[in-house]
Amino acid sequence: MPRKGRGDRNWRRYERDWKGYERYRRDEGNLFLAKAKSLVDSNPDPWTPQKLGQPPYPPKPMVTLLLLKTWLGMDYRSISAYLRAFQEQRVKIGLEKTPSHASIRNHMLRLPEAYLRRLSVQLTKPHQKGG
């Protein structure tokens, strides 16, 4: 008879792949970034760049950056500093130069809520029960 709260799993015999777990923990940022980038690339642009003013950052890499920012739980200044410190992440996202914290904030304000919800559902669907 299993103990209360443990279900029917025999925890003493439950095999754990600790090497796989450590590999995932070491690479989880890159894995998330690859998944988010492929998801954003498979969706249409969230907005069309305007023709006036300074050339804007491309919309899809900025959306990928905003997803990374949210996933890491950073504020705008911190994510900007993170990209300056880790240039390889900026290149993986697809940005030629690091945007300022104000540019990142402005792109977040531009992002349609429906677009963000759709990405969130697509990103978390494989991890939900029955998904």
Q: What is the pLDDT of residues 59-68, one digit of tens each?
A: 999 999 999 9
Distance CA 112, CA 118 (A): 10
Residue 8 lies in a domain: no
Total-model pTM: 0.76
Domain membership of residue 26 as a residue range = 18-125
Residue 130 lies in a domain: no
Distance CA 60, CA 93 (A): 9
Encode burial over 2-29: b for 16+ CB neighbours within 10 A, e otherwise: eeeeeeeeeeeeeeeeeeeeeeeeeeee
Residue 80 lies in a domain: yes
Q: What is the pLDDT of residues 53-107, one digit of tens each?
A: 777 889 999 999 999 999 999 999 999 999 999 999 999 999 999 999 999 999 9
Residue 4 lies in a domain: no
Distance CA 122, CA 58 (A): 22
Domain count, the chain: 1
